């Protein structure tokens, strides 16, 4: 089995595992964005474009009159292993946009990017 593919545009050789990981990250980000838009229809959900530094999604929270109430940055990770460096980067991203809240969502790689509701909520 071939473990590399070539980009049809530039001919760059890419490991298949990297390509699949990128696709899963993209799907996870899209799932997260869709879920936030569904749950918070009055907020502005802004994905951070690929190649741009920052969290995956910035949520601009609005009150019932559409007035800006603050921001939340969302970072998604699809991996079996956690890294302490993620929190430092998330804090930097939070400061960069002036967000009041930063959320890190870590989904085990075996879930293939499917978002599942938590088993229980904090404080319950």
Task: State yes or no: pLDDT of 25 exceeds 90.
Answer: no
pLDDT digits (tens, 9 = 90+) for 34-72: 888 988 999 999 988 777 788 889 999 988 888 888 999
pTM: 0.66
Q: d(Cα 54, Cα 94) in Å, to the nearest integer? A: 8
Q: How far is CA 14 from the centre of its chain?
A: 23
CA-based angle 64:59:25, to the nearest 5?
Answer: 145
| Domain 11-109 = CATH 3.40.1350 | yes
29 or 75, higher pLDDT:
75
Give domain limits for the chain. 11-109
Sign of CA dihedral 60, 43, 39, 112: negative
Average the pLDDT over 63-88 and give the result.
Answer: 84
Query: CB–CB of 83/75 below 8 Å?
Result: no
């Amino acid at each position: 089995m071939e473990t590399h593919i070539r980009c049809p545009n530039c001919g760059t050789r890419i490991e298949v595992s990297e390509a699949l990981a990128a696709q899963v990250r993209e799907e996870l980000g899209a799932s997260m964005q869709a879920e936030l838009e569904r749950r918070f229809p009055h907020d502005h959900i802004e994905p951070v474009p690929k190649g741009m530094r920052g969290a995956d999604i910035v949520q601009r929270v609005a009150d019932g009159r559409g007035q800006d109430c603050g921001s939340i940055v969302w970072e998604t990770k699809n991996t079996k292993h956690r890294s302490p460096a993620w929190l430092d980067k998330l804090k930097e991203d939070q400061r960069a946009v002036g967000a009041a809240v930063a959320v890190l969502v870590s989904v085990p790689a075996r879930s293939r990017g499917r978002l599942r509701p938590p088993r229980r909520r904090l404080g319950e």
